[in-house]
Structures are given as structure tokens and as C-alpha cells.
């Protein structure tokens, strides 16, 4: 608008906008904004005698769809394949990848919620999804909120969402890339220390490690470090598939001189392993990172080439009690829900360098972290990790956390009990800070644990339920009945009482 203000007065611009849009107080969508912009641009061209200014030339050349058509076609194929039988979506499928039907269908949030349940079944209770043919803005917003929160919970990055973030298949295909789901992955490491490192790796890194493991055995000399440039020539794919599927092995793939021809042979060989063709030879040659990642994950899913020889030995090294695992999962979901840059795959491993902790603290209490004294990963020197963790502990003390005899070195050492103790205090403090923002509803006083207790009991009582809790340590809470009744009191749709038992046994 600055460029237009140099050509027209403010009153002239208001007049032009008024002519194009009758209600100046009404919110407009992007298409309406674009029409107004182009109208102003046309008037500017007329005023300059038909010559566009350099600004207008530069500006208009930036209007384009930043959408990878190959990726869109891949996502559409995935959706058409996995949701074809869905009762609600069957009227809208199959989607034509040549149109923008995908984005039109995604507007109500139903498609994205359904995709999340395809990726990780049971993540969203489908009764909570608004599936009317025509949704009002509030119902649509409910679906989007449900979708985003659930996406965070299963590991999707939802910061600055764009069309490229529809790589739902990525989450589904990478779901088994951990030691709990695929214990055979221990074959990739040699000792217990490396097992700990493997536990902390992101699924993409595990996939690269798996790929290089087989490529090394196959005699391939190069190291694959990414899913783009390192895979463009198709040679790594050819060696990998020859190693994993010797019954389909052929020298013609490696002998092919043209990268596109080699890529096509790679895809033909992969199809023999029942890998669905979601990408084209062009996608491989151009190095599409998302589609290559999904393709490698598909190969892993159908033929990982690993054995069970070490599983029992290393499983003994990974013994952990159920309570600690539940707490780790709870804190992991909470930390990832805050939208920090670093995604947490394993709490006990990922917090040890202190940087993730600093990010979480900064999200909750902006301005408390001295980033000039923070050391950003990768951190090779242990004392740099201790520096980060010392700052975390100091911030905790400033917030009056109970941290007697706790030092930054305890976090670096991976002391699970102390890490959980700190995270619990951090999460509790964060929740209380949130509640303090609601003080206007309690005559300005700060909300305490007793206030929360009273609110929960009153909410359940008003809903006509009988459960009550005496304190947050009330043993009757173990049945889960009170929490279900509280959830139902807040939103009746979320609890299916037909599935609820008395909770008398484990």
C-alpha cells in the first residue's frame, strides 16, 4: 500500500476502495482483498500512462501458487486410497488432483481430522467432529482446533501451517520407526550407549540410519544424509532395493545411464514389494524431500530387512516401569503442545542438553531466558550442556520451585526422577499462571488448588452426577469415573457412556 500512497492521496484510495467494496466495515477474505489490490493496480497503471512502476512489476510477479503439484497428487492418492469407504467422505471422493478440490474439502476440518485417525487410529473421538453438510463458523473452528491439537499430539509440526504440512502420510509411515514398535531396530547399533542415542533420534533420522545400514552392507560407498540431493540419481535406491529384495534384483537398474530411466526402474521394483506409487520418476530426480521420505518409509514398512537376533539382549537394557513411561508420554505431549521449535521424541533423552528445556520455559515465561548465554545444538562439549541446564535450574529457583540438591548436571546425566519432578512443577506452574488470567471471575483473587477442586465438584454436581473428590490425592480418582463425569459436564459429546465400566479392577 505504501507504493500506492505515493501515487494517490488517502482520500482517493478510500474512494476507490468504497467503489469496489460497499461495506468498508466488513471483513473480507483473501480473494476479495486480491480483487481490490488488482483494481488499485489498474488505476495506477492508468495514471502512469499505461506503464507499470518497477514496484508493481516486482509485486505482480510474486503472485503464484507455491504448491508442489506432485506432492498434491501424492496426498490426493493417499486420501482416495485410505478414506474411500468413510461414511461421511465417500460422497466427496475420489478427489481430482488436477483441481483444488482437496483444499475446498479441507476447509471444514473434517478431512484433516479423519486423516489424523488414519495416521494414528483412535486419536480423535469421531463423535466430537462436526460433520453436518453445512457448518457454521463456530463448528468449523471447533473442527480446526480439534485437528490442530490432535496433530500436535501425534508429532505434526503445526507452526506456520501451509499446504506442505498436509504430509499426513509421513506420520503414518513413520509411526513404527521406534524401538517399542520395531525392536528389530537394535540391529542398527552395537552397544547400550548407542541404544540410548537411537531412542532419542527423530523418526526421519532413524530412517536414514536404517537406510545407510543396508547400503553399507550392500557395498554402497556414499553416505545418505538427506531425502533430497543424495537420492536424486537413484543409485542409493537401486542398491537398497537390491539388498532388501534379492529375488527382484536386477543389474539393469544400476546400468541405466539416465537418472529418470533409473528412477522409473526403481519404482517398478518397489511396486513388486507392494509399495504404492505415490511419486513419479521426476519427483526422485528433482529431489522432492517429502515424497522421498514417504517412499523410503514405505520401503521400510514393507521390507525392513532386519532380524530378531539382538532384540532380547537389548530389550533387557531398556527395562522401564510403566508409571515412568506414562509420565514421560504425558510430559512429551504437553511439551510438544506448546509449539516450541524442537520436537520432543523422548523426554529423558531430548532434555539432556538443556536447550529444549530453555525453549519450553521461554514459551511459558517469555523473557526469562538469557539466550546470549544459551548454547544451541548440536552441543559436543558436555560443559556447554551443563551451562544450559544450570540456567534452567536457576530459572526454576527464581519461580520458587522445590529444587533442593538439584543441579544442572542431574538433567545432563538423565536422572529421570529429577527431570519428572522439575517438569511437573513447570507444568503445574504453567496451569496456575493460566488460571491467574481468570481472576476476574473470582473477584480478583488468585485461583488456588482449593478453587479448582471446588469448581470441579460443583461442575459435576450441577450436571446431575454423584461423584465428588476430596483432594487431588483421593484414591477414588483411580477408577476414572469422576474425570469422565467432569469431562461430560463440560462437553457431553466427549464421553461414550456405553464404554464406561465401574473401574473396580485394573
Q: What pLDDT score does 202 carry?
A: 72
- Going by C-alpha positions, the residue among 447, 387, 378 that lies closest to residue 412 is 387
Contact indicator for 336, 366 with CB cutoff of 8 Å: no
CB atoms < 10 A from the CB of 254, how many?
A: 14
Q: Is 170 left (phi over 0), alpha (psi -120 to 50) or beta?
A: alpha
Helix (H, G, I), strand (E, B) or coil at 56: helix
Which segments of 192-303 are extended strands (E)?
Answer: none
- Give me the pLDDT at residue 341, please: 78
pLDDT digits 0-9 by tens, 370-408: 888 888 887 878 888 889 999 999 998 888 888 877 888
pLDDT at 169: 40
Kindly tell me if the per-residue pLDDT of 66 is higher than 60.
no
User: Which cell numbers in the block locate residue 105?
Assistant: 474439502
CA distance 371 to 397: 18
As a whole number, the mean pLDDT across the chain is 75
pLDDT for the residue 2: 54
- At 235 the pLDDT is 87
Q: What is the pLDDT of residues 135-186, one digit of tens each?
A: 776 777 777 778 777 777 776 655 444 323 333 344 455 666 766 677 777 7
Q: Is the pLDDT of residue 37 over 50?
A: yes
Average pLDDT over residues 208-219: 88
Site of grid cell 533409473: 262
Q: Which residue has the cell 501458487?
A: 65
| Lowest mean pLDDT across 74-83, 171-180, 429-438, 454-463 | 171-180
Q: What is the pLDDT of residue 59?
A: 38
Q: How many CA atoms lie within 13 A of 427 on its CB side?
A: 17
**CA gap 17, 22 in Å, rounded:** 8
Grid coordinates in use for 308? 530378531
For 332-366, the pLDDT digits (tens) are 888 887 877 777 877 888 888 889 899 988 888 88
pLDDT > 70 in the chain, percent: 72
The Cα–Cα gap between 265 and 250 comes to 10
Nearest CA to 245 out of 260, 222, 225, 265 is that of 265
pLDDT, tens digit, 9 for 90 and up, residues 39-52: 666 666 556 554 44
CA distance 280 to 266: 10
Q: What letters, b where the CB count within 10 A reaches 16 and e where it falls short, cover 323-340?
A: eeeebbeebbbbbbeeeb
Neighbours of 116 (CB within 10 A): 23
Tell me the three state secondary structure of residue 345.
coil
Residue holding cell 526422485? 284
For residue 138, how many other CB atoms are within 10 A of its CB?
A: 8
Q: What are the structural domains of the chain?
A: 1-59 (no CATH), 70-168 (1.10.418.10), 179-308 (1.10.418.10), 320-438 (1.10.418.10), 454-499 (no CATH)
Check residue 141 and give its pLDDT: 73
- Apex CA 96: angle with CA 106 and CA 265, to 5°? 115
Residues 216/271, Cβ–Cβ less than 8 Å: no
Q: Where are the beta strands (DSSP E) in 249-305?
A: none
What is the pLDDT, as a whole number, of residue 458? 92
- Please give the pLDDT value at position 439: 59
Phi, psi (5° rounding) for residue 45? -65, -40
Residue 27 buriedness (CB in 10 A; 0-12 / 13-18 / 19+): exposed
Could you tell me the CA-to-CA distances from 207 to 176, 177, 300, 344 in Å, in that order?
A: 10, 7, 8, 17
Compute φ and ψ for 348, nearest 5 degrees. -65, -25
Contact between 281 and 263 under an 8 Å Cβ cutoff? The reply is: yes
The three-state secondary structure class of 348 is: helix
The whole-number average pLDDT for the span 434-448 is 64
Contact 189, 198 (CB under 8 A): yes
- Cα three-residue angle 304-309-313, rounded to 5 degrees: 120
* pLDDT band at 6; cut points 50, 70, 90: low
Where on the phi/psi map is residue 91: left (φ > 0), alpha (ψ -120 to 50), or beta?
alpha
The model's pTM is 0.46
Q: Write down the pLDDT at residue 97.
A: 77
At 127, the pLDDT band (50, 70, 90 cuts) reads: confident
Amino acid at each position: 500500500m505504501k507504493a500506492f500512497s505515493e501515487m494517490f492521496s488517502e482520500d482517493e484510495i478510500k474512494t476507490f476502495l468504497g467503489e469496489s467494496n460497499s461495506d468498508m466495515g466488513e471483513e473480507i477474505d483473501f480473494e476479495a482483498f486480491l480483487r481490490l489490490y488488482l483494481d488499485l493496480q489498474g488505476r495506477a497503471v492508468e495514471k502512469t500512462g499505461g506503464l507499470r512502476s518497477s514496484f508493481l512489476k516486482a509485486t505482480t510477479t510474486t503472485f503464484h501458487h507455491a504448491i508442489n503439484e506432485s506432492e498434491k497428487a501424492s496426498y490426493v492418492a493417499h486420501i482416495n486410497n485410505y478414506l474411500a469407504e468413510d461414511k461421511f467422505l465417500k460422497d466427496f471422493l475420489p478427489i481430482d488432483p488436477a483441481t483444488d478440490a482437496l483444499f475446498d474439502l479441507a476447509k471444514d476440518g473434517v478431512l484433516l481430522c479423519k486423516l489424523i485417525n488414519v495416521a494414528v487410529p483412535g486419536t480423535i473421538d469421531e463423535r466430537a467432529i462436526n460433520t453436518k453438510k453445512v457448518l457454521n463458523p463456530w463448528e468449523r473452528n471447533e473442527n480446526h482446533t480439534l485437528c490442530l491439537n490432535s496433530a500436535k499430539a501425534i508429532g505434526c509440526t503445526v507452526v506456520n501451517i501451509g499446504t506442505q504440512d498436509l504430509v499426513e502420510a509421513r506420520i503414518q509411515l513413520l509411526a513404527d520407526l521406534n524401538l517399542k514398535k520395531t525392536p528389530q531396530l537394535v540391529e542398527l547399533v552395537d552397544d547400550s550407549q548407542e541404544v540410548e542415542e537411537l531412542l532419542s533420534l527423530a523418526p526421519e533420522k532413524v530412517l536414514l540410519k536404517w537406510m545407510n545400514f543396508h547400503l553399507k552392507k550392500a557395498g554402497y560407498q556414499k553416505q545418505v544424509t538427506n531425502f533430497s540431493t543424495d537420492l536424486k540419481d537413484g543409485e542409493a535406491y537401486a542398491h537398497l532395493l537390491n539388498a532388501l529384495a534379492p529375488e527382484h534384483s536386477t543389474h539393469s537398474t544400476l546400468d541405466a545411464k539416465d537418472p529418470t530411466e533409473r528412477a522409473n526402474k526403481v519404482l517398478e521394483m518397489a511396486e513388486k514389494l507392494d509399495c504404492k506409487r505415490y511419486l513419479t520418476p521426476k519427483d526422485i530426480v528433482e529431489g522432492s524431500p517429502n515424497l522421498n521420505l514417504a517412499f523410503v518409509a514405505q520401503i521400510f514398512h514393507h521390507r525392513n530387512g532386519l532380524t530378531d537376533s539382538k532384540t532380547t539382549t537389548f530389550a533387557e537394557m531398556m527395562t522401564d516401569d510403566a508409571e515412568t513411561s506414562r509420565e514421560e508420554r504425558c510430559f512429551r505431549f504437553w511439551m510438544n503442545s506448546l509449539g516450541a521449535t524442537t520436537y520432543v521424541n523422548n523426554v529423558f533423552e531430548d532434555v539432556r542438553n538443556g536447550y529444549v528445556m530453555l525453549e519450553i520455559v521461554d514459551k511459558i515465561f517469555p523473557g526469562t531466558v538469557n539466550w546470549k548465554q544459551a548454547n544451541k545444538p548440536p552441543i559436543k562439549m558436555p560443559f556447554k550442556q551443563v551451562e544450559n541446564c544450570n540456567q534452567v535450574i536457576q530459572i526454576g529457583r527464581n519461580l520458587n520451585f522445590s529444587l533442593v540438591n538439584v543441579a544442572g548436571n542431574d538433567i545432563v546425566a538423565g536422572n529421570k526422577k529429577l527431570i519428572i519432578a522439575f517438569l511437573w512443577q513447570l507444568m503445574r506452574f504453567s496451569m496456575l499462571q493460566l488460571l491467574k488470567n481468570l481472576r476476574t471471575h473470582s473477584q480478583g483473587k488468585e485461583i488456588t488448588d482449593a478453587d479448582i477442586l471446588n469448581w470441579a465438584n460443583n461442575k459435576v454436581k450441577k450436571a446431575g452426577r454423584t461423584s465428588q473428590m476430596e483432594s487431588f490425592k483421593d484414591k477414588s480418582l483411580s477408577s476414572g469415573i469422576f474425570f469422565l463425569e467432569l469431562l461430560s459436564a463440560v462437553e457431553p459429546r466427549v464421553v461414550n457412556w456405553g464404554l464406561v465400566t465401574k473401574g473396580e479392577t485394573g
